Structure 1
């Protein structure tokens, strides 16, 4: 190699050369690569994220539910007997069964396409929102506890006691609506908070597992409410032998927000307010930071100066208050005909599914609550118009939980790319 060649290579070996026109051109090409990388990273993030897994879990559950609809349809079962002779009959019957079922679900939960006017057509949507209100509130309570590493499975007991307390205020207190209704709501929310806070206190002071404690508290709450409904001095209606209270006083019933034509009431708006409050707590407050820190690693949070025991009590108090709001929603809004031991209507356990589907995020829980509200509203329409057992809807809800609990299974079925290691 010549001396001139050695000198020409020397600057590249020691330090970067001065920019040249070629380098500038290369620098101008760089932004064309970076957007592609950003789009690729965004696409991978979406397709491998928890939200996509939740959506695909719902899709899988609906597909399995469709198979069950086929098995329960009489025309489909009859056509199977001669499927080799006339396969078209089987496929036509299958299409009619599935399309009829889900169109009935749509008509019962979103819009009645057979209605002659808009007012009647949107009634199913208002029913969906009505059912979604307590599901959203209770789901927020369960999801908030999840974020702090706690499993609040005591939703039923918290709803029962909150609803019974709110009902007692609604029946026995005589006051104008602007005092009576807020008082009944506040009392119900406080009772729900205290009942859940008891589990948090036992967790903080004794280390008792919150799952066991809240399950036992469910039974205690049930029998307390049953006892109250069996005593006329407490909640039982006069001259009645059934465990049921009197109807709620008109001044303590949540007003209907769209008029008497629809059943949608104030409870749904309160649930929406709760969504934004929980979002602010988790994402914008120091309290939410402590909740998340304890949920990720209690030992590290304690080392960082966070009082883990106090955090457990606080998060259970707020969780119980949200679930108590769902209980008051039921008693003062959805079913104001009286307090019963069935006032929770299974919402205490459905809230766990809503929180799981929403990934314990407030707006995810809002979407999941609306979906399950649609299931509740449309399930009755499926049963009435198509003769499909309403239990099919419950099976779909259970399958959603099953698939959400097994993300690797969902990713394997749809061949989703795995998350890149960071």
Structure 2
């Protein structure tokens, strides 16, 4: 009987997100019908855009990769009782650190690439560490300080690029040296020149690292304990202030790595930006959709990145305007996030099925 209940519960836990996605797509279909568009053609164009060719599959993976990093950054902070809304700024600082090393230094590839990656990660970690320090030592709310540092990071990055890394009259940095780039040439050729890079594999490794740090180490236990109850953690002899700073720095490293691979693996330079890339704010949605768990973040990144990249197919293939495309994406995300609504809809069916299972 217990085994049957366990199997049933596992199936039910998988059923909720599947039904959520289906409901979101149905609401999106209704919106398209109301606008006079063919939802079947639109969705087929979306899926064709995502998996229709090796190039599109590669580009979909490329779009998913930064969301894994920023989702992990937000989720890690959440798990330790902090709301890191400054992932956007840490992402930008990671880009800047990697670009500085990639443009100004000329080293062998086995030193240059890893050094650029490590530098960008450190830049992101330090930028987040400032937020942690202000909270630990001065009691400044991390939401306020981190969101303000987003703008500081943007303008500081633009200053660094324009002052030290650009040629006169240019709006982007000089090209990063070949020895620092993180492209996987054989895989790029295999995927019809899609921008595949080592960041995807590093992101998957970070999913595992996230889990190991938080649930398989003493430090992870302290991080979670401080997040759940700082007073109890202090009473138990833990250094709460140091743990807060450490948590934010690890979160910032994840975010910084996302920025690193955008410049080293995708663009090969850094532009003077009028606005932030937006991956940090998307990471908040990804973390929430993934329940702040590493595997959940990975799956939410695949969903969010696939919808974002595939939406162009709906526009070109079915003529659906961007406004309706956003309704479709928003509907899917809403139902995936609103587990309570989906469970309420499924409750009568699940109750009947549970009774049949128990009777069997």
TM range (shorter): 0.7 to 0.9
SS in 1 for 2:187: coil
Deviations 1:162-204 (A, max 9, x none): 1012112111111122111111111110000000011011111
How far the C-alpha of 1:63 sits from its partner, in A, is 2.4
Partner of 2:23: 60
Is the 2:162–2:272 contact (alpha carbons within 8 Å) kept by the matching residues of 1?
Answer: no
Is the 1:148–1:293 contact (alpha carbons within 8 Å) kept by the matching residues of 2?
Answer: yes
Partner of 2:180: 252
Question: Take 1:52 and 1:208, find their aligned partners in 2: how far apart are those partners?
Answer: 42
Asked whether 1:301 is paired with 2:264, we answer no
Alignment of 1:8-407 (within 5 A): 36-44=1-9, 47=12, 49=13, 53-73=16-36, 76=37, 97-110=38-51, 112=52, 121-231=53-163, 234-235=164-165, 237-240=166-169, 242=171, 244-256=172-184, 258-260=187-189, 261=192, 262-341=194-273, 345-403=277-335, 406-407=338-339
SS in 1 for 2:195: coil
Is the 2:19–2:342 contact (alpha carbons within 8 Å) kept by the matching residues of 1?
Answer: yes
C-alpha RMSD over aligned residues:
2.3
Say which is worse superposed, 123-132 or 391-400, in terms of deviation: 391-400
How far the C-alpha of 1:296 sits from its partner, in A, is 2.4
Give the TM-score taking structure 1 as reference length.
0.76
Provide the aligned length of Structure 1 versus Structure 2: 346
Q: 1:398 to 1:205 in 2, by over 3 A?
A: farther
Partner of 1:88: none
Is the 2:290–2:298 contact (alpha carbons within 8 Å) kept by the matching residues of 1?
Answer: yes
How far the C-alpha of 1:376 sits from its partner, in A, is 2.6
How far the C-alpha of 1:222 sits from its partner, in A, is 1.3
Deviations 1:287-313 (A, max 9, x none): 111222223222322222222222111
Q: 1:354 to 1:396 in 2, by over 3 A?
A: farther
Is the 1:132–1:369 contact (alpha carbons within 8 Å) kept by the matching residues of 2?
Answer: yes
Is the 2:94–2:124 contact (alpha carbons within 8 Å) kept by the matching residues of 1?
Answer: yes
Q: Which runs of 5+ in 1 are unaligned?
A: 1-35, 77-96, 113-120
Deviations 1:253-299 (A, max 9, x none): 11225143332111111111111111111221111112222232223
Deviations 1:87-123 (A, max 9, x none): xxxxxxxxxx11111111111112x1xxxxxxxx333
SS in 1 for 2:182: coil
How far the C-alpha of 1:46 sits from its partner, in A, is 5.0
Q: 1:288 to 1:176 in 2, by over 3 A?
A: same
Is the 2:289–2:337 contact (alpha carbons within 8 Å) kept by the matching residues of 1?
Answer: no
Partner of 1:82: none
Q: 1:342 to 1:71 in 2, by over 3 A?
A: farther
Is the 2:127–2:252 contact (alpha carbons within 8 Å) kept by the matching residues of 1?
Answer: yes
Question: Take 1:53 and 1:307, find their aligned partners in 2: how far apart are those partners?
Answer: 40
In terms of fraction of residues, the more helix-rich structure is: 2
Question: Take 1:158 and 1:408, find their aligned partners in 2: how far apart are those partners?
Answer: 33
Question: Take 2:323 and 2:181, find their aligned partners in 1: how far apart are those partners?
Answer: 31
Question: Take 1:226 and 1:72, find their aligned partners in 2: how far apart are those partners?
Answer: 41
How far the C-alpha of 1:247 sits from its partner, in A, is 2.4
Is the 1:159–1:344 contact (alpha carbons within 8 Å) kept by the matching residues of 2?
Answer: no
Question: Which protein has the larger Cα radius of gyration, Structure 1 or Structure 2?
Answer: 1
